[in-house]
């Protein structure tokens, strides 16, 4: 899941029996028997093996992503669904090398700093100069030739701060990261590939003081390429209405992305196997989206390719992005369609679902912008869980592996998903 906007989480009250996500979920109405912990884990392990064989990543534009798409397509065909690929143009970012030192002390990539996707290349050395905000061009007034601007994260897109720094003549930009995970600095993106100067995120623990000297080097490249969405649909179904569900298939470049978003991928595969090729009512369509981590590219491509009549046929879209967090707080999208929220709550039974204000942070955004009712499930990224721990301390890091996923909560979310989609299919049978 991308952090396009801060995720503002509403207060969530969980019954004590719901907090034990290590075991089987308590009974609820008609759980789809085809969905098991073992099968979910098999999909996660398959994606982990793909990443292991391909440099530890399944990012769009890499062999790991292509192998992930092949795996998903094969599983959906085995389940009796019709599968197609959709070409998705995008800009691929390659980081060849990077280094950062503060006061002569070399920092470790991922642990202490990250290069933002779509950063420019170059070398720079100078003194860090703290900038208040960075969202306005005037924030960089008076920048000296030896100054390297240091800005906090947040308040506006980091791309806007980088553009302002570049226009002010800065030779690089350092983004101050208040790291929420003990594991390191999460991957992030500038969204638009038009920044020429190096842009790095550095953790607060690596910065001694605002007057520190800094030396950095980035060798990177951005180029136009093509990747692919995987779209699957039941051959059976009544009427011409469509119920859709989806989640992104890619990881960040810096990790295998097994919770973010192998958990959603495993959920959707199990949904397909549970429903089979003949849903109870309307046809069901699934989308496995490319390049979500690079600004929701695949889902936007898909929705923009639909005609008005095709969009009208889609009666609902449910999104599943990070549904197996190790310290989970199960939530639905509180700022999305209320009718779909009720369907998810009814499917959840005794599992209490809080409300996440997700804004445009995942692939539902493209559907919502075109007037399609949306909602989804979510268990957390860098936000704090009860007790103060990050919900996923490996969010956007190399440690987001199969071991990072809480199979108990993933099983519960997958069963809720299948029940909700079956309900919607039956509702839109005509």
Q: Distance of alpha carbon 111 from its chain centroid, rounded?
A: 20
The reported pLDDT for the residue numbered 204 is 86
Decide if pLDDT at 179 tops 90.
Answer: no
Confidence of residue 13 (pLDDT cuts 50, 70, 90): very low
The reported pLDDT for the residue numbered 25 is 43
Confidence of residue 15 (pLDDT cuts 50, 70, 90): very low
The reported pLDDT for the residue numbered 210 is 58
Active-site hit among 292, 331, 383, 422: 292
Using CA atoms, how far apart are residues 25 and 351, in angstroms rounded to an integer? Answer: 8
Neighbouring-strand partners of residue 356: 9, 333
In this predicted model, which residue has the larger pLDDT, 22 or 338?
A: 338
CB 423 within 8 A of CB 343: yes
For residue 99, the tally of other CB atoms under 10 A from its CB is: 16
pLDDT tens profile 284-322: 999 999 999 999 999 999 999 999 999 999 999 999 999
> E strands within 46-111?
82-102, 105-106
The pairing of beta strand 331-333 with beta strand 283-289: unpaired
Confidence of residue 23 (pLDDT cuts 50, 70, 90): very low
Instruction: Give the tokens for residue 386.
Output: 């009860």
Confidence of residue 14 (pLDDT cuts 50, 70, 90): very low
Domains along the chain with CATH numbers? 8-81+234-427 (3.40.630.10), 93-222 (3.50.30.30)
The reported pLDDT for the residue numbered 178 is 79
- The pLDDT > 70 percentage for the chain reads 91
* pTM metric for this prediction: 0.91
Confidence of residue 183 (pLDDT cuts 50, 70, 90): confident
The pairing of beta strand 354-357 with beta strand 331-333: parallel
Using CA atoms, how far apart are residues 80 and 61, in angstroms rounded to an integer? Answer: 28
Closest CA to 421 of 318, 278, 288: 318
The reported pLDDT for the residue numbered 208 is 65
Instruction: Give the tokens for residue 199.
Output: 């842009």
Angle at 348 between CA 344 and CA 353, to 5 degrees: 75
Closest CA to 9 of 331, 364, 365: 331
Average pLDDT for 409-430: 96
The reported pLDDT for the residue numbered 31 is 47
Closest CA to 143 of 102, 100, 197: 197
Instruction: Give the tokens for residue 87.
Output: 């070409």
CB 171 within 8 A of CB 197: yes
Decide if pLDDT at 41 tops 70.
Answer: yes
Using CA atoms, how far apart are residues 279 and 291, in angstroms rounded to an integer? Answer: 29
Using CA atoms, how far apart are residues 166 and 137, in angstroms rounded to an integer? Answer: 10
Go through 219-230 and write b for each residue having 16 or more CB atoms within 10 A of its CB, e for each that does not.
Answer: ebebeeeebbbb
Neighbouring-strand partners of residue 113: 109, 202
- Listed in sequence order, the DSSP H helices in 91-150 are none
Angle at 27 between CA 22 and CA 31, to 5 degrees: 100
Decide if pLDDT at 22 tops 60.
Answer: no
The reported pLDDT for the residue numbered 34 is 81
Sign of CA dihedral 131, 132, 134, 140: negative
Q: At what angle do helices 407-427 and 338-348 cross, to 10 degrees?
A: 120
Using CA atoms, how far apart are residues 81 and 73, in angstroms rounded to an integer? Answer: 9
Question: Does 331 qualify as catalytic in the annotation?
Answer: no
Please identify which residue in the block is written with the tokens 């699957």.
232
- Give the list of residues 6+ apart from residue 295 with CB closer than 8 angstroms, or none: 2, 4, 189, 191, 192
Neighbouring-strand partners of residue 319: 246, 376
The pairing of beta strand 213-233 with beta strand 283-289: antiparallel
Is residue 415 within a helix (H) or strand (E), and if so which, with residue range? helix 407-427
CB 89 within 8 A of CB 224: yes
The reported pLDDT for the residue numbered 205 is 84
pLDDT tens profile 262-290: 999 999 999 999 999 999 999 999 999 99
């Amino acid at each position: 899941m991308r952090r396009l906007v801060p995720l503002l989480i509403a207060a969530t009250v969980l019954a004590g029996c719901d907090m034990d996500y290590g075991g089987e979920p308590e009974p609820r109405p008609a759980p789809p028997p085809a969905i098991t912990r073992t099968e979910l884990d098999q999909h996660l392990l398959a994606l982990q093996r793909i990443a292991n064989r391909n440099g530890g990543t399944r990012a769009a534009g890499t062999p790991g992503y292509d192998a992930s798409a092949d795996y998903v397509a094969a599983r959906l065909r085995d389940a009796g669904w019709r599968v197609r690929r959709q070409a998705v143009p995008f800009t691929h970012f390659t980081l060849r090398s990077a280094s950062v030192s503060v006061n002569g002390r070399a920092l470790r990539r991922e642990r202490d700093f990250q290069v933002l996707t779509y950063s420019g290349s170059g070398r720079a050395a100078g003194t860090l100069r703290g900038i208040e905000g960075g969202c306005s061009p005037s924030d960089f007034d008076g920048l000296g030739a030896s100054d390297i601007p240091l800005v906090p994260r947040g308040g506006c897109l980091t791309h806007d701060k980088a553009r302002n720094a570049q226009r002010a003549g800065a030779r690089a930009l350092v983004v101050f990261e208040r790291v929420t995970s003990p594991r390191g600095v999460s991957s992030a993106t500038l969204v638009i590939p038009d920044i020429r100067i190096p842009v790095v995120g550095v953790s607060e623990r690596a910065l001694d003081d605002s007057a520190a000297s800094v030396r950095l080097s980035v060798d990177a490249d951005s180029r136009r390429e093509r990747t692919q969405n995987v779209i699957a649909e039941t051959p059976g179904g009544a009427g011409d209405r469509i119920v859709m569900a989806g989640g992104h298939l890619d990881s960040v470049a810096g990790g295998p992305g097994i919770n973010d978003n192998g958990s959603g991928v495993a959920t959707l595969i199990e949904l397909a196997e549970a429903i089979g090729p003949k849903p109870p009512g309307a046809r069901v369509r699934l989308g496995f989206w490319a390049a979500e981590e690079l600004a929701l590219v695949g889902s936007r491509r898909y929705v923009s390719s639909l005609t008005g009549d095709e969009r009208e046929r889609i009666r609902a879209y449910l999104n599943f992005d990070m549904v197996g967090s190790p310290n989970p707080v199960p939530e639905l999208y509180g700022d999305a369609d209320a009718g779909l929220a009720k369907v998810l709550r009814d499917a959840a039974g005794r599992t209490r679902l809080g409300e996440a204000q997700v804004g445009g942070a995942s692939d539902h955004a493209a559907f919502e912008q075109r007037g399609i009712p949306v909602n989804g499930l979510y268990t957390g990224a860098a936000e704090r869980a009860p007790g103060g721990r990050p919900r996923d301390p490996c969010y956007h890091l190399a440690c987001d592996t199969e071991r990072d996923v809480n199979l108990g909560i993933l099983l519960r979310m997958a069963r809720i998903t299948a029940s909700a989609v079956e309900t919607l299919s039956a509702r839109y049978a005509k």
